[in-house]
Structure 1
Amino acid sequence: MSAIPKIKAIIQLFRPDLSLAAGICVVVGELLALGHFPQFQEIILGFAVGFFISGSTLILNDYFDLETDKINAPNRPLPSGMIKPAHVIFLSIITALIGLLASFIISFLALAVAIVLWTIGFLYNWKLKRTGLLGNLLVSSSVAITFIFGAIVVGNPWIIVVWVFSAIAFFIDLGEEIAADALDMEGDKKINSQSLALKHGQNNALKISAVIFALVVLISLIPFILGWLGITYLLMILFMDSIIVYSTFKLLKSEIIDEKRKYARFIYLGATLGLVAFVIGQILI
């Protein structure tokens, strides 16, 4: 295989949208905790921890999901044969070490939290994914912690607005996790998963996911309503919320699985774009 397809396969393993989202969430946590833009070193180190720790666990996800991906996603790098399992493990180790090194440079507390985050990801990929809702809650918790980690990077983890953003991230990811399980039922049956979709049906699981996304929209308005953040935040968050509402509606109405997957991913991307827009807005003000 030539180098270019292999590089593309490695990038695909990273799920760059999710890894970037993790890094961005850390930087947003820093920004919220300080009330102003953090130092360049804090941005780089915090982003690196979020990006590489998340990337490492996402890469491992492909390793442990090989059998189900043969059914649900046969074109992924591992089931398609573009990447060997040994290479996946090696890449996961390297990215984890980079993330842990960056956290060590920040502080021992940051290192401890990074180790916890990576361990949650590993345990989820290895065993806890089949537990259904418990696994969903663990992954969503690790996503939520990225904001708090950002506050830890700048030494100010107890600011309430950081925890509100953490709650937004928790529920966005929980809704996406439940929706993803609902769309991967065939592969999940093979590993005896206890997902909500397998227990209560795909439509019911997607409805639960939609309720969670509605809760995200409500929580996202709290910082503006209570006066913690101003009109710039409101404009950016309304942009995010409009994507979430539209994509959730399409997710429920579409009859085609691939389209449902697309709209579930749009929700995640919409949330990430909203956060990026918020950061840019803070830079320009």
Structure 2
Amino acid sequence: MRAYLELARPINCAMAALGVIVGELIAGARFDVGAALAPVVAAVVCAGGNAINDYFDAEVDAVNRPDRPIPSGRVSPRSAQMFALGCFAVGIGMATVINRMCLTIAALNSVLLYLYSWRLKGTPLIGNVVVSYLVGSCFLFGAAVGQRPAPAVWLFLLAFLANLVREILKDLEDVEGDAALGLKTLPIAYGEGVALRVATVFAIALAVLTPLPYLDGVVGWPYLTLALPAAAVILLASILAVAGSWDAGKAQRVVKVGMLLGLLAFLVSLL
């Protein structure tokens, strides 16, 4: 049982569930069966994604992480695959009880999680886009349960862009290891300079879009007190990385702080 918990990565699953709860709060969800089930669905689908990732990474983990459940022999590859597919099936099944939108998101995310681990992980930019969508979709999933989803839709879009910046910076940080594994990430395929400029373009887009939830009338002015500094932090990190003042590792850690500030901005808007 413990080996399967390791496959699931409970902390990651809890973070996915928390994202759904934030989406529900922002969207004004009433506490009912659907609102209670939605975080559970996210956690279960996330567990499936983590398990299928270990299934496809078994050979790499045998070298880099021999203590993981599959290379250590505590879980067979076939059992890990069936566990992942079972989690996807259970998550999708529970989503049918909530509503059609939640069912659509749960099914789409299950497919994307499988495809990402199977084919998309090392592809230039596409893998980054998929991961960023999956991160932001937790807020969408929660919003689908609520009465006023517009603020959470904005949160999804901004979280998507911010995470896309961070994903590209993480690829820059991991170039040596990814190249050794034969992955074709954006900096490996097109060069580190191109990757940094692409990240900066997305950071600029984030900065431009950040005031729009306020201008659209879905959040109040307190949102701006944290959202604007958050966007500025993320943009500054990208610019300093392009200029060579910061390495990619430092820049992506600062972007993560900016993402947290952005999330707090939406939560503050509820007060």
Supply the distance in 1 between the matched residues of 2:171 and 2:214 (Cα, whole angstroms).
Answer: 33
Pick from 13, 16, 20 the counterpart of residue 26 of structure 1. 20
Contact 2:23 2:152 in 1 (8 A): yes
Q: Which residue number corresponds to residue 166 of structure 1? A: 156
Contact 1:185 1:197 in 2 (8 A): yes
Task: Give the Å deviation of 1:197.
Answer: 0.6
Pick from 181, 186, 194 the counterpart of residue 184 of structure 2. 194
Contact 2:129 2:164 in 1 (8 A): yes
Pick from 256, 267, 270 the counterpart of residue 279 of structure 1. 267
Amino acid at match of 1:218: V
Q: Deviations over 1:238-271 (max 9, x none)?
A: 453355346546655344xxxx446525534542
Task: Give the Å deviation of 1:100.
Answer: 2.9
Amino acid at match of 2:191: G
Q: Where does 1:234-253 land on structure 2 (aligned, <5 Å)?
A: 234-238=224-228, 240-241=230-231, 243-245=233-235, 247-248=237-238, 253=245
Higher mean displacement: 137-146 or 106-115: 137-146
Q: Which residue number corresponds to residue 40 of structure 2? A: 48
Amino acid at match of 1:22: A
Supply the distance in 1 between the matched residues of 2:239 and 2:67 (Cα, whole angstroms).
Answer: 28
Amino acid at match of 2:154: V
Shift in CA distance, 58/277, structure 1 to aligned 2, threshold 3 Å: farther
Contact 2:18 2:39 in 1 (8 A): yes
Supply the distance in 1 between the matched residues of 2:232 and 2:68 (Cα, whole angstroms).
Answer: 33
Task: Give the Å deviation of 1:203.
Answer: 3.8
Pick from 9, 19, 30 the counterpart of residue 14 of structure 1. 9
Paired residue total: 267
Supply the distance in 1 between the matched residues of 2:59 and 2:261 (Cα, whole angstroms).
Answer: 32
Amino acid at match of 1:229: V
Contact 1:183 1:202 in 2 (8 A): no
Amino acid at match of 2:110: W
Contact 2:222 2:268 in 1 (8 A): no
Task: Give the Å deviation of 1:22.
Answer: 3.4
- Give the TM-score taking structure 1 as reference length: 0.72
Supply the distance in 2 between the matched residues of 1:47 and 1:162 (Cα, whole angstroms).
Answer: 15
1:131 paired to 2:127: no
Supply the RMSD in Å over aligned alpha carbons. 3.7
Pick from 252, 258, 269 the counterpart of residue 264 of structure 1. 252
Task: Give the Å deviation of 1:225.
Answer: 3.2
What percent of counterpart residues are identical?
Answer: 25
- Give the TM-score taking structure 2 as reference length: 0.75
Supply the distance in 2 between the matched residues of 1:197 and 1:204 (Cα, whole angstroms).
Answer: 7
Supply the distance in 1 between the matched residues of 2:73 and 2:236 (Cα, whole angstroms).
Answer: 35
